[in-house]
Structures are given as structure tokens and as C-alpha cells.
Amino acid sequence: MSWFGKKPDAEAEQSAQERYYFATQWQLMWRKLRRHKLAMLGLVLLAGIYFVAIFAEFFSTMDVQKRHTGFVYSPPQRVRFVDAEARFHLRPFVYGWRTSRHPYTFELCYEEDTSKRFPIKFFTSGEEYKFWGLIPCRWRLLGVDEPGYLFIFGTDKLGRDMYSRVLTAARVSLSIGLVGVALSFILGCVLGGISGYYGGRIDTLIQRIIEFLLSIPTLPLWMALAAAVPKEWPPLKVYMAITVLLSIVGWCGLARVVRGKLISMREEDFVLAARVSGAPDGRIIRRHLLPGFLSYLIVSLTLAIPAMILGETALSFLGLGLRPPVVSWGVLLSTAQDVKVVVLYPWVLLPGAFVVVTVLAFNFLGDGLRDAADPYR
């Protein structure tokens, strides 16, 4: 009752109390969630990341496949406000590179060339691209004028801009979590629903299958299944195959939640009443049982998404999941498989930071939702 205490005004207090009593279940959950700081942080982070992923073309600085053959494994350029002569510029800028070959290893060496200053422009128009592959567009959030170049996160082994690639990769990595969870959701609801509602032999069978799937190590299973995906499949088909793979294990947890809740609610009076009134099974499940455990389901869903994202990242990292030219965080990280590369060019691990932040945000949000969905807290 902590939120009543602050208002001394009796009338205001009453209306607050009224609002509390008339609030729907969702409004109450939202209120509790609002007070969970970490969950809100997670929510904001996720909203930001998804927003950027949706408009990735606009936020990135150049085409993901564009190669800068002169700048292979360029380090990230430092965004500066103060130049070499200690003059302050309101507009941030980067210095260009002076490249040379190492006399022994023949590696490209990069040095900042302070005579080349590229001011960063906002809302510039660059080369034409197709927004979502459909709408021709020129707008970019950031950019430098030709012949300048802007590699905020450096470049990869083919001289492609990591910043643009990471942002675009977010689209695949994040959506695979959502699509995978949607699939698991359907499987989990249907199988868990059947299992919990009907019980008996079919329940035992489904429970055994779940126990079996949960008792075997997930990643090796995924690896083996992913390796069986034919190499000549088009990217979209591979994407679907990987999502299906991830949901093969993903639905188990959800099905358990659904089943557990159904079993505890099945014996309630209102279900009996509905059944006596002649409501068909499907209607009882949808209309009377589903609202009762939807909040728990959402919690499980939120916590299932990061597992999917991590799964895809691990598979693609190993080269068994998605394959180039598709860009996902895992695909980008696959460059990092060779430790020597990581030691020399540590920025290839940057996509990993995005994975960690995303997963962290999902966990925060899921945790907050769990607390909010629990009516006894």
C-alpha cells in the first residue's frame, strides 16, 4: 500500500484507492513493473535496440557488403571533439588513416593522419539504398563527406564497416529470438494445453518427451541438427530451419508452465460451471483458462528469447548456423574463432557486447515481469 501514503489529501487518497481497486490485472502489473528499476532499464534498452534494428539501414553508415579494400582490419576510429592543435570543434570528427605495411609481417599498420579531418554529419544523404529492400532512400543518420570514411567500430577482414554490419545483424539475431519463441509458444501452448487439460496417458507421454529433451545437452543436439541442414539451401530457408531447430528444445519449458497452471486451475469451480453450461473444451481453454496464466506465460516467453538468441549466436559462431552473406551477430563473431585474429584485432568481439547487452536486458525485464506477475508480492 506504499503508494497511498504519500498523499495527505483524503479525496486524492480515496480516488487512488478506487483506481487501485478498479484497475485491471494488466494495469496492476504495469504499476509494479514501473517500480522495478532494472526491469525498466531492460525495457528501455530493448526498445532502443529493436528500434535501431528495425531502421538499421538508416542508422548504419554504409552498405553492409561494401568493401574498402584499402582498409582491411581498420581499427575503430576515435570520435573526437578536440583536434591535434587543441582546438575545440562543436561538430565531432574523426581523423583519417595513414596506412603502411609492416616491414616483416606485411600487415597493414594504421596511424592517425591529423591532416585528414572528416567532420561527422548528421542526417546526411549518401549512396542510395533500399529501405527494407523496398523503398529507395538516401538518408543516413551519420556520415562523412566523400572521400572521407567513417569506421566507428573498425572494419573486418574484407574491409567492411563493422558498425553498419553490427546494426544490420541485430535484425536477424533479434528476430530469430522472436520467431523462435513464437514457434515455441504455439508448440508449448498446444502440447502443454493438451497435456494439462486432458491428463492421463497422453499427459504422461508428453511429459516423458519433455523430460527426454531437457535431459540431453542442447548445444550438441543443435549442432548435429544444424549440420544436417543442406549447404545449398537459400538463406531464408536456412533461417527458418535454424529457428525450428531452436524451438525444438524451446517449447519444453513453456509447455511445463502451461501444464502446471492448467492442472491447478482445471478443478476450479468456474471451469466446472463453464463445462456444465455446455462450453466446448476449446472455448474453456481459450476463454476461461488462458487469461489466468497468460501473465506467467509472458514471463516464460521473455526469459526464453535470450536463450534462443544465444543459441543462434553459438551455432553461427561455429559456422553451423546462419552463413554469410547473411549477417547476424553470430556470423560476425565467427571471425573471432581464431584467437590470433582476436589478439590482433580485438574489435571483432564487438558484436559479442551487443549480444551480452541484449540478453542482459531480456533477463532484467523477465525478472521484473516475474515479480510483477506474482499477485502475492
**Residue of 216, 276, 376, 377 interacting with another protein (CB under 8 A):** 216
x/- mask, another protein, residues 158-197, rule CB under 8 A, reads ----------------------------------------
CB of 161 to another protein, least distance (A): 22
Q: Of 154 and 193, which CB lies nearer to another protein in the complex structure? A: 154
**Residue of 120, 310, 332, 365 interacting with another protein (CB under 8 A):** 310
**Residue of 76, 92, 148, 319 interacting with another protein (CB under 8 A):** 319
Measured between alpha carbons, how far is 270 from 282 in angstroms, rounded to an integer?
15
Give the footprint of another protein on residues 80-99 (CB under 8 A).
Answer: none
Give the footprint of another protein on residues 193-212 (CB under 8 A).
Answer: 211-212
CB of 218 to another protein, least distance (A): 5
Give how many residues touch another protein by CB under 8 A: 40
Give yes or no for residue 250 binding another protein (CB under 8 A): no
Give yes or no for residue 105 binding another protein (CB under 8 A): no
**Residue of 176, 183, 262, 333 interacting with another protein (CB under 8 A):** 333
**Residue of 16, 41, 54, 359 interacting with another protein (CB under 8 A):** 359
Q: Which residues bind another protein (CB under 8 A)?
A: 211-212, 214-221, 223-225, 227-228, 230, 306, 310, 313-314, 317-320, 333, 336-337, 339, 342-343, 346, 349, 352, 355-357, 359-360, 363-364
